[in-house]
Amino acid sequence: MRRLLVTGGAGFIGANFIHYVMAHTDFQVTVLDKLTYAGHESSLKGLPPDRLTFVHGDICDEVLVDALVAGVDAVVHYAAESHNDNSLAAPLPFLQTNIVGSYVLLEAVRKHGKRFHHISTDEVYGDLALDEPLRFTEHTPYNPSSPYSSTKAGSDLLVRAWVRSFGVEATISNCSNNYGPFQHVEKFIPRQITNIIDGIRPKLYGSGENVRDWIHADDHSAAVLLILQRGVPGETYLIGADGERNNKDVIEAILVGMGRPADAYDHVTDRPGHDLRYAIDSSKLRTELGWTPSKADFAAGLAETIHWYRDNEDWWREQKAATEAKYAAAGEQLAGAASRQGR
């Protein structure tokens, strides 16, 4: 298996995966990416041109997908509409890309008999209570909360059906929250880092007790490559690095890491349906495939990420104002301000 088609390779995790593959294998990679607001071809800058082909196109384009799948050994499917807040404002692109696009890819790998790896999320399992020791496993029932997570759950179920009904050789991985370089400034960690750089106070949704299980994108990439090479078709693997932290602790760590007082942030209106806690039990991946995270030190990873955004303003500057305008248009305001205005 030396020729990969990577969908969504100009996005955050896809780009990190391609950097990882270029550094750790001799594979040839073709990227298929629509370059939505979330895609940046510049994230692939500097990679060897003789091993990387970039195709600007849509995973819903059956003719294009068929031709590209025919020419590779395996498909790694990252392309998605990925942001929960956007899915609350406008769900339709999520159905189109995450469900119809995944269907188009599945039909192509079925026709050409190619290996498929589907990138999914822990959000398909819904959320956990704050005060329970439970974590998600491969056996946790699906219970998605948002338009985004429900379309990811739908795409996972399509993959399972294509395995069972048509014998497609597919694996699925469900990973927890990623952080690292090349992440869009709409997402929690880069939004706050770039807010602080711009002199804007960081924004914490609701009380900030919500817990996310953070993993560095490089550890996610290592796990995906391992599953592609040694995973058992038909199986699902959960990926997580035991990185549970609540949002309040993360925002305070970012502020302190950037030399600001830990309390220099604002509470803003909470996300509707905001999942409380995600937590991954990745025992299967660790025991069956021998994966361990090598960047599990969150403080070190966060410091490196802050450094990256400080050094790469050219990469994110263009997206920043439009992203903050989108949040303002969606009605984000200081917590309590809505009720004060209503009085």
Positions in the binding site for ligand TDX (CB under 6 A): 82-84, 121, 123, 177, 187-188, 191, 203-205, 210, 212, 247, 271
Candidates 36, 53, 137, 246; binder of ligand NAD (CB under 6 A) is 36
The residues, any chain, with a CB within 8 Å of residue 228's CB and separated by 6 or more, are 1, 74, 76, 115, 117, 171
| CA pseudo-torsion sign 142, 143, 147, 149 | negative
Sheet holding 52-56, edge to edge: 52-56, 28-33, 3-7, 74-77, 115-121, 170-175, 236-239
241: CB partners within 8 A, 6+ apart: 176, 213, 214, 215, 216, 219, 282, 293, 295, 296
19 binds, among ligand TDX, ligand NAD, none (CB under 5 to 8 A by kind): none
Name the residue with tokens 């959960």: 238
Please name the residues in contact with 185: beta carbons below 8 A apart, sequence gap of 6 or more.
191, 194, 316, 319, 320, 323
Nearest to ligand TDX of 28, 177 (CB atom): 177
Alpha-carbon gap, residue 306 to 79, rounded angstroms:
25
Give me the least distance between CB of 301 and ligand NAD, in Å please.
13
Q: Which of 20, 78, 148, 309 is catalytic?
A: 148
Single-letter amino acid, residue 4: L
Segment near ligand NAD (CB under 6 A), from 124-132, 173-181, 281-289, 306-314?
A: 173-181
- Residue 123 designated active-site: yes
Q: Of residues 206-265, which lie at the interface with ligand NAD (CB under 6 A)?
A: none
Q: Is 148 among the residues known to form the active site?
A: yes
Among the listed residues 22, 25, 35, 197, the single contact to ligand NAD using CB under 6 A: 35
17 or 188: CB nearest ligand TDX: 188
Note whether 175 binds ligand NAD by CB under 6 A: yes
The secondary structure of 231-261 as a DSSP string is PPTT-EEEE--S-EEEHHHHHHHHHHHTTS-
- Residue 181 binding target from ligand NAD, ligand TDX, none, CB below 5 to 8 Å by type: none
**Cα–Cα distance measured from residue 139 to residue 237, given in angstroms and rounded to the nearest whole number:** 10
Candidates 6, 18, 29, 33: give the one binding ligand NAD (CB under 6 A): 33
Q: Is there a catalytic annotation at residue 73?
A: no
Task: Please enumerate in sequence order all residues whose Cβ is within 8 A of that of 115, keeping only pairs 6 or more positions apart, or say none.
Answer: 1, 73, 74, 75, 109, 169, 170, 228, 233
Stretch 177-216: interaction string toward ligand NAD, x if CB under 6 A: xx-----x--------------------------------
In the complex, least distance from residue 173 CB atom to ligand NAD, rounded to whole angstroms: 8
Among 4, 38, 158, 302, binds ligand NAD (CB under 6 A): 38
Distance CA 231, CA 146 (A): 29
Which residue is nearest to ligand NAD, using beta carbons? Answer: 11
- Partner whose footprint covers residue 36, from ligand TDX, ligand NAD, none (CB < 5 to 8 Å by kind): ligand NAD
Helical ranges in 71-187 per DSSP H: 84-89, 92-94, 102-112, 147-166
- Pick one of ligand TDX, ligand NAD, none as the site partner of residue 38 (Cβ within 5 to 8 A by kind): ligand NAD
14 binds ligand NAD (CB under 6 A): yes
> Which is nearest to 293 in space by CA: 239, 253, 228?
239
Q: What is each CA distance from 288 to 114, 200, 238, 285, 292, in whole angstroms?
A: 23, 46, 12, 6, 11
The one of ligand NAD, ligand TDX, none whose footprint includes residue 280, by CB under 5 to 8 A per kind, is none
Q: Which of 11, 147, 293, 301 binds ligand NAD (CB under 6 A)?
A: 11
33 binds, among ligand NAD, ligand TDX, none (CB under 5 to 8 A by kind): ligand NAD
Catalytic residues, by residue number, are 122-123, 148
Positions in the binding site for ligand NAD (CB under 6 A): 7-8, 10-14, 32-36, 38-39, 58-60, 78-82, 97, 101, 119, 121, 152, 175, 177-178, 184
